[in-house]
Structure 1
């Protein structure tokens, strides 16, 4: 049985400096996240939630500290190696969907598989779009899809590579409440089926309560569990 955490955030701080001085966005964040656990990162706007998520993904570099994914120090790798880790092991869902407008739903979902050199990209993407209820919308472009449909395409794209970790940054932020509830129910269902480790940034207390664990960040500091 696995004893080491899948994700280890080790004394991570993030500072930015400009002409007015230095601003500390994250203060000495130290936390371990086990495999297959769902975790919500919650806090007020500007508290550092999205910065922490970006550092865990290797998209932003900490000023001090590091992140280990399955024992691998992400910041001991160069950018190309970190990009390879993201492509192979991480899935992303964003508030703004981040779909490529010139590609169809099918092509958007195929893309990460094609970048990995998978020969079954079309079949896998077709299957995954059917899983999220868009089997009849394969050839539609994002501009012709509703917000909820676009986020379901984003879910299919995230899960199609069978990631170890799913990172979701305010995934319902651009959706109305009812659509957001539908998308989140689908995300949690797919996450359970795949046994993925879910790390979710949200300001929605109801969504956070559905996770196994909540991390509360206040002014860049991780608050002790209540």
Structure 2
């Protein structure tokens, strides 16, 4: 069987709150294979975003681990995980996470410059033109609409040609019509680049556009639709 691009193994996350230990995720296991689209769904507070943060190595589990292409990311120190993220992952967030003191072009150039790409300006310009913002290159986030800001965020995520795109409620700050346009663009870009997509969403219609859906319920994961050769959620 082909090695999964992401293998989640027995992840548990427990935190301390005023009432004592609180388990957010319990013994979550599943595989994701290259090129798949996977939606992680569940009620507010179910642990969806926590799971995505663990998969990205932005948070650490209480038990269990995550492998990227066979590498146990929690066997690495934070600097090594950050370097691996920069090479392998793209991110799209509900709150856009654009730098307010940089123009649209500069925001998209930033990850390329950090990677030492000499063609950062030209590549960023091409990607912004691809998402329909060729006339907004010099605009700052504060003068862009929510939909435009999310398109800049998509351009920034895809310009580095990541193996995996992680999207956390990417339409959560947008009205329905704008969200529909942004999601259509995201899926188009995903197909064009052959990216593996992990999408956290509460929107059932968006989730149904993915090949697979995993529901987080009471801290446990359950596969709602599993193609052949893919392990069930633990």
How high is the TM-score relative to the length of structure 2? 0.94
Match of 1:40 in 2: 39
Following superposition, the deviation at residue 146 of structure 1 comes to 0.2
Distance 1:153 1:31 in 2: 31
Following superposition, the deviation at residue 116 of structure 1 comes to 0.6
Match of 1:220 in 2: 219
Following superposition, the deviation at residue 49 of structure 1 comes to 0.3
**Any idea what SS the aligned residue of 1:108 has?**
helix
Following superposition, the deviation at residue 219 of structure 1 comes to 1.4
1:46, 1:219 within 8 Å by CA — same for their partners in 2? no
Matched, 1:58 2:57: yes
Distance 2:219 2:17 in 1: 18
Following superposition, the deviation at residue 122 of structure 1 comes to 0.4
Structure 1 regions of 5+ residues with no counterpart? Answer: none
Match of 1:116 in 2: 115
Q: Deviations over 1:103-142 (max 9, x none)?
A: 0000000000111111110010000000000000000000
**Any idea what SS the aligned residue of 1:10 has?**
strand
**Which has the larger displacement, 16-25 or 101-110?**
16-25
Following superposition, the deviation at residue 17 of structure 1 comes to 1.4
Distance 1:18 1:110 in 2: 40
Matched, 1:72 2:66: no
Matched, 1:98 2:89: no
Number of residue equivalences: 225
Distance 2:150 2:99 in 1: 13
Distance 1:148 1:184 in 2: 10
Following superposition, the deviation at residue 224 of structure 1 comes to 4.6
Following superposition, the deviation at residue 223 of structure 1 comes to 2.2
Question: Structure 1 residues 224 and 212, CA, compared in 2 at 3 Å: closer, same or farther?
Answer: closer
Match of 1:167 in 2: 166
Structure 2 regions of 5+ residues with no counterpart? Answer: 226-234
Match of 1:21 in 2: 20
Following superposition, the deviation at residue 19 of structure 1 comes to 4.3
Question: Structure 1 residues 160 and 224, CA, compared in 2 at 3 Å: closer, same or farther?
Answer: closer
